[in-house]
Amino acid sequence: MKKKLWLILLATTSMFCLVFGISACDDKSGGYTMHTHSFTNFVYNNDATCTEDGTETEVCTCGAKGGIRTKSGTALGHDIKPLPAKEATCSENGYSAHNGCSRCGYTEETPEYTEALHIKYELNDKGTAYTVEDLDNSCTDQEVAIPKFYKGLPVTSIGNSAFSYCRELTNVTIGNYVTTIGLNAFFECSGLQNVIWNAENCIRGGTYLGSYGTAFINCTNLNSVTFGENVKTIPAYTFSHCSKLTSVTIGANVISIEYAAFEDCSGLKTIYYQGPAVVWENIPIANNNTDLTSATCYYFTEDKPTAEEWAEWDYWWHYDPETNEPTPWIKENQ
């Protein structure tokens, strides 16, 4: 009977904490204190576009994040200026000189386009967005950037096997508006070493079909992935079976890492996280991401860590001023 009463009391207390926002927060002395979250501060997320207002996130004094709301009046507006002519590359169109927005690709006038040399874009049925369909093997570019826009419309997907067997590729940048990546999109890109992932709301990174179908399967030399500051979700399976992947840099606005996103990434040893520890520890990380959760997480600080920060945590990082690469801070007594 007593055990039953204790269970009822525990359940009631837990429900009270959930309803009224009471939680245990690290007091940075190794212990925890109970308090009610006070979401009185707002942090701007720096995510405004030319035409849409940005958002801001409620933040408690303990670092926990609350809801997100629109911050009115923050839309940037178009930055119209003369844009110089650009020659076509394997993956991107060339165009004539024209007036346009330096940020989003909006144009006041239609430039003359020169088709990309080896890439194929396909317009969707609604005529509202493009898919990258193919990059033929004759392309010798080592760096490919999936643009935000193509002919004034967003590029929202990468098709099945679009870049498969492009072994010359060493660096790939995924555009901001890509929401889906098809089966085997980068299959056997054995020269690929670095991926910059700017896709803010990508919901699919390939599909798992028994060690087949994921976006970067058999990219045997991929060693680093950087997720941009506005990325919110890392989709399921995207980097599974990338055994040579050693480090990932994750932006502070990531709010979920989905099932098996980093499955069988046995070489993954280092996470460079751009937010605070209290946020990282509360990001939902789905199952089959053991290699990620077992890696050492470094927290960002632009300046050399203070004695208090070293006492709190042993791993901190910054961008090297010469290479702009993530670099761990080293304790002076080490």
Average pLDDT over residues 58-65: 76
Would you call 244 exposed, middle or buried from its count of C-beta atoms within 10 A (0-12, 13-18, 19+)? middle
pLDDT of residue 285: 95
Instruction: Identify which of 3-7, 60-64, 274-278 has the greatest average pLDDT.
Output: 274-278
- pLDDT tens, position by position, 126-171: 999 999 988 765 666 788 888 888 887 889 999 988 888 888 889 9
The three state secondary structure string of 284-307 is CECCCCHHHHCCEEEEECCCCCCH
- Which among 216, 222, 136 has a CA at the least distance from the CA of 184? 216
Q: How far is CA 303 from CA 279, 300, 309, 320, 332, in A?
A: 20, 9, 11, 11, 14
Which CATH number is 118-300 given? 3.80.10.10
Q: How does DSSP assign 2-30, residue by residue?
A: HHHHHHHHHHHHHHHHHHHTEEEEE-SSS
pTM value? 0.67
Span 78-95, pLDDT tens digits? 898 888 888 776 656 677
With a pLDDT cut of 90, the percent of the chain lying above it is 32
The pLDDT score that the predictor gives to residue 7 is 44
The pLDDT of residue 61 is above 80 = no
Average pLDDT over residues 52-69: 80
Three-state secondary structure call for residue 148: coil
| Whole-number percent of the chain with pLDDT over 70 | 81
Residue corresponding to tokens 């498969």: 164
Contact 194, 215 (CB under 8 A): no
Q: What is the pLDDT of residue 142?
A: 83
The predicted structure's pLDDT at residue 16: 43
Please state, in angstroms and rounded to a whole number, the distance separating the CA atoms of residues 194 and 248.
10
Q: What is the pLDDT of residues 295-327, one digit of tens each?
A: 999 999 999 999 999 999 999 999 999 999 999
| Residue range(s) occupied by CATH 3.80.10.10 in the chain | 118-300
